[in-house]
A and B are shown apart, each in its own frame.
Chain A
Amino acid sequence: MTLWLILTPALAAALCAALPAQAARLNILASGVTLILALLLLLLGEPGGTGWLRADALNTPLVLIAAIVGFSTAIFSAQDIAGEGFDTARSRAYHAAFQGFMCAHFLALLADNLGVMWVAIEAGTLACVLMVALHRTPAAIEAAWKFFILCGVGIALALFGLIVLALAAQPVADHAEGQLSYTALRVLAAQADPGLLNLAFVFLLVGFGTKAGLVPLHSWLPDAHAEGPTAIAAVLSGLLLNSAMLAILRGKSIVAANPETISPGVFLVVMGIATLLLAGFSLWRRRDAKRLLGWSSIEHMGIAAIAFGIGGVAGHMAGLLHLWGHSLIKSAAFFAVGRAARIKRAQQMAAIGGLTTSHPALGWGLALAMAALAGLPPFSLFASELLVATAIGGTSPWLLPLFILGLLVAGTALLHAMQRLCFGQPTPQPAPMQAGLATLLPLWGHLLLAAILALALPAPLSRMLLDAARMLA
């Protein structure tokens, strides 16, 4: 099953490149098949499995979320990419890169070997880089170049961290494969040299932290989200950030398995708080709707980093639930904003206004998604932020004021932006255009799923959430 999850998008990427006329339909079909596979993986599990791919309680739910976001993004992009007016070559490149990215992302989530995970994250990034530049405007080239260079550096530092990790494991591992296998390293870490593990963790955190958009290496994120096609922004925020966060989490759990190392949680909390506060204040100054959502992704990664840094079963549960909820809601918000920008032919917030009057289904969907991003109930981000606050209160209450300040600043900024985008007088619209089912179905579907995550978490998911948190704690 895990193997097919990776092979299906790989095959689809090849087919999309070969048959550009059918690419949009193939894209939806392949994403639908991977969604079914991911559901089966969640329900049936992968028996045994000691090879390169390993599905466990930590990554299986993330695989399902990725498949859901991938499927709805494929539906959304069928309409959105048609509106871009790309020529055959660019449409072919877009669809092949999209499926290529999905393939790399599933591999990054499922790989047991950290080296393979690294390769997959890097391959996924490279698939996105050229997509960000697809519009060929100077701003798009600038965004893609910054994305390329910063993430190139980040990922190189992460590889250095992995090499140091292998060096630490070398004296205690009995074969070369064990040096980078996540499962083996968790066992071996207790006997490995703590100095090397510390060095490795710092590089892993900075390296993968770049990709996860943690301060101070976050600056690629808003531009890359704003200048590329909306569908790419949805998968960048919804998926790539998750795989980077998973990589940090894996590094942390390996280093924490050795009692003599530095406490990795402190680093995550500090970076998380800095990220949350910077993003919170930056959100107030945004004029571009897609950059606003990009900054909101930075904010939410900060919250997740704080949760993982606080640690314990409660902290890890809160962090994982936050990642799931953020993926669903952020991609939904991107669908809505992307469609609104297409309708108004501008993505400046000043040009988009009064959506609830002109396009009620789209406007109310966007309003709900942004309220959810601001942390309002009844969506799962509310539940997870509450859980993070409880976990912080239990272990380090002095941190609570900073955390709540960050949440309030960011939340009010998002609500303010929501008001400008969704309510008031509708802004002029160059030509009549409907929201369209290809946007509304993914948008409302994601909102519904995010509400279900908060109100009635399905039994297999809640079991896995608890198992994963216990495994990490």
Chain B
Amino acid sequence: MGFGDTSYDVAHVLGGAMLLISFVLLYQRRIFSLVNALALQGMVLALAALWQGYVQGAPQLYLTALIAFTAKGVLIPIYLRRLVLQLPPARRAEPASGIGASMIAGFLLVGLSILVVLPATAGARVLAREDLAIALSLVLLGLLMMVTRRTALAQIAGLMTLENGLVLAAIGVAGMPLMIELSTAGLVLVIAVIAGVFVRVLHERFDSLDTSLLDPHRGEGP
């Protein structure tokens, strides 16, 4: 299996699409669009799982696809949308921040993950290792998003896209055992709900979602 082989190419296109959406997430300021991009990434992830299930002849990956589609493509986006709708319109976008710098940092991180994964995984299958490189890029881009964004919702979107990267890595190894798959998806839902609780508390207490408002309360105080 290599370049020019359909099964390999399609897997790459899907992985690449997810990576592209991560870059969209990195610069998108409007929270609605952020949630939409996240939903799209979840759906592409489901497609990638479906394709890997077909290629590897691993029927349990169809279930992974179903879980990814339900949790990340439908449930979490609906929940986040409802959360955003409860906020006043002024809270639905983030103050402008340096997009250029974070895009460049994103490119560097993708390069870094390829440099880390490819030499370390010389023994594994070609598809698995390149999937792993894309997955690690998604994880690092999610981290970058959590570092650079200031609002609570955008940071959570970062955590979610990071989790998408993990699932992409897992489908490269024919998936995890079913129970772990299910509980991981359940935990992600719980994370989304807890994030929702935080968003409400932040909004009530500070009338903002900007987590930098919390900074003065860090540590032991004056």
Contact check, B119 vs A195: say whether CB atoms are below 8 A apart.
yes
Partner of B166, one of A129, A160, A176, A198: A160
Assign chain B's interface to a size class.
35 or more
Number of interface residues of A (CB under 8 A): 50
Report B179 CB to chain A, min CB distance, Å: 7
A141 to B211, CA, bound (A): 10
Please name all residues of chain A whose beta carbon is closer than 8 Å to the beta carbon of B175 when the two chains form the complex: 176
Given contacts A119-B180, A136-B201, A167-B132, contact A142 B172 (CB under 8 A): no
Contact check, A152 vs B198: say whether CB atoms are below 8 A apart.
no
Please name all residues of chain B whose beta carbon is closer than 8 Å to the beta carbon of A33 when the two chains form the complex: none
Contact check, B139 vs A170: say whether CB atoms are below 8 A apart.
no
A291 to B221, CA, bound (A): 12
Please name all residues of chain A whose beta carbon is closer than 8 Å to the beta carbon of B128 when the two chains form the complex: 167
Bitwise, B138-157 to A at CB < 8 A (1) or not (0) is 01001100100000100100
Mostly, the A contact residues are helix
Given contacts A156-B163, A193-B121, A199-B121, contact A145 B190 (CB under 8 A): no
Report A364 CB to chain B, min CB distance, Å: 27
Q: Which of B40-48, B63-71, B104-112, B212-220 contacts A (4 or more CB under 8 A)?
A: B212-220
B123 within 8 Å of A by Cβ?
A: yes
Report A233 CB to chain B, min CB distance, Å: 15
Given contacts A126-B187, A170-B174, A199-B116, contact A223 B218 (CB under 8 A): yes
Q: Which residue of A lies closest to B152 (CB)?
A: A145
Contact check, B180 vs A113: say whether CB atoms are below 8 A apart.
yes
A-binding residues in B (CB < 8 A): 116-117, 119-124, 128, 132, 135-136, 139, 142-143, 146, 152, 155, 159, 162-163, 165-166, 169-170, 172-177, 179-180, 183-184, 187, 190-191, 194-195, 197-198, 201-202, 205-206, 211, 214-215, 217-221
Q: List 27 A-B contacts (CB under 8 A).
A: A113-B177, A119-B187, A126-B194, A138-B214, A141-B198, A141-B205, A142-B214, A146-B218, A149-B155, A152-B159, A152-B191, A153-B146, A156-B142, A156-B162, A163-B135, A163-B176, A164-B132, A166-B170, A167-B128, A170-B173, A171-B123, A195-B120, A199-B121, A222-B219, A223-B218, A223-B219, A291-B220
What 10 pairs between A and B have smallest CB-CB spacing?
Answer: A193-B123, A115-B180, A142-B214, A138-B217, A119-B183, A142-B217, A139-B217, A195-B120, A199-B120, A163-B169
